[in-house]
Amino acid sequence: MGGPLRVAMVTGSVSRRAGGLFNSVRGLSLALAEHNIDIRVHSLIDGDTTRDLPAWAPLHPDAAPSWGPSAFGWRPGLGPSLKDADVIHQHGIWQGIGLPVLAAARAGRATMISPRGMLDPWARANAAWKKRLVWFAWERANLTRAACIHALAAAEVDAVRKVLPNAPVEIIPNGVDPGPDPAPRQMPEGRRTCLFLGRIHPKKGLARLIDHWAALPQETRAAWRLQVVGPDEVGERDSLQARAAERGLIYGKEICFRGPLLGSAKAEALAEAHAFVLPSYSEGLPMSVLEAWAAGLPVLMTRECNLPEGFSEGAAHEIGDSPRALADGLARADLPRMGDLGRALVIARFSWTAIAARHAELYRALARRQGARLAAR
């Protein structure tokens, strides 16, 4: 195979509306360009595409309008754009972008699909009837024909195996750019900030977090403020704010909500926080936790975040259905040390440089296998 390997990235959005995929697909694509990979990114247009495209430079994503409901994501004419790719990598499922990927697989192209946590039981149960329609219409065939299913963690492999017992699966986690060493994290005597950074969505567990926050011991409530930062994806923010008020949390003092932050504004929020929390019911592998660790923040998260390394390496405290677990985490005397361990973990295992090298090796293997199959016909 002469010249650089040609890889087509297919994703529903190249803007902040993609949530964690905006950072993970973009970070991977930019890092792969350093491994003699010719990356072409194909997506749909949404309301934030124009202002977020500069973040992809020097790449120039091919974004086009979709037909029908935005959640469906059907893009006419995408198929011909994929015909010259050696490998087609689809990020996310349950959208119409899977139809041209399936057509390419049937035509003999090597395809790889990253469900990104969307095959987890919680995710499949959410809007289940719609997903059953998509499953039987094309997504089952698309996943079955893929040369590889990409899982972010061992727990995601289990979720894939429940619906695709014989699928070839490879585990490669998300990555992050660690950046320069952050300033030493100090725990002030006054009120500290515990930051949630991500999509405001039921699967993130924010309603449960608010209930647990309201049940904290008075001394702990007086020492911390919960800051919720992120886009209101399904209109849940108003009900969460009402829930906090009903539980007696004082807005602005004990809890506050902000819209989505990107770039320097997000970096500033991470730098000013004293801990990070992610109470999710379901995740693939959350970029927000990796970014928090890169910033030197201690992390409080659920087991469903699929980063068991955080617990085993002392960089995270497990929370879940008990308010006591949250209280114990916020009261830990070693929170700054946890943040240091999290940054060390990111540098050792989750830098984009190392993650992109693993993807490049896998893409080349898939292209070789597919080439051998076609030659044998």
Q: What six digits make up the tokens of 352? A: 């984009």
CA distance 151 to 359: 12
pLDDT of 350 reads 95
Place of tokens 């051998």: 372
Q: Is residue 224 within 8 Å of residue 256, measured between CB atoms?
A: no
How confident is the model at residue 185, as a pLDDT? Answer: 83
Q: What is the pLDDT of residue 76?
A: 78
CB 214 within 8 A of CB 247: yes
**pTM for this model (two decimals):** 0.83
- CA 49/CA 12 separation, integer angstroms: 11
Per-state percent for the chain, helix, strand, coil, to nearest 5: 45, 20, 35
The CATH 3.40.50.2000 domain(s) of the chain lie at 5-175+351-376, 192-349
d(CA 312, CA 317): 10
CATH code linked to domain 192-349: 3.40.50.2000
- pLDDT tens for the 377 residues of the chain, in order: 567 999 999 999 999 988 889 999 999 999 998 888 999 999 999 989 999 999 999 999 999 888 766 666 778 788 888 999 999 999 999 999 999 999 999 999 999 999 998 999 888 988 888 899 999 999 999 999 999 999 999 989 999 999 999 999 999 999 999 999 998 888 888 899 999 999 999 999 999 999 999 999 999 999 999 999 999 988 999 999 999 999 999 999 999 999 999 889 999 999 999 999 999 998 989 999 999 999 999 999 999 999 999 999 999 999 988 899 999 999 999 999 999 999 999 999 999 999 999 999 999 999 998 877 767 76
Given the candidates 3.40.50.2000, 2.40.37.20, 3.30.110.40, 3.30.70.20, the CATH classification of the domain at 5-175+351-376 is: 3.40.50.2000
354 burial level (CB within 10 Å; 0-12, 13-18, 19+):
middle
pLDDT score at 20: 86
Using CA atoms, how far residue 251 sits from 109, 206, 228, 244, in Å, is 54, 15, 11, 8
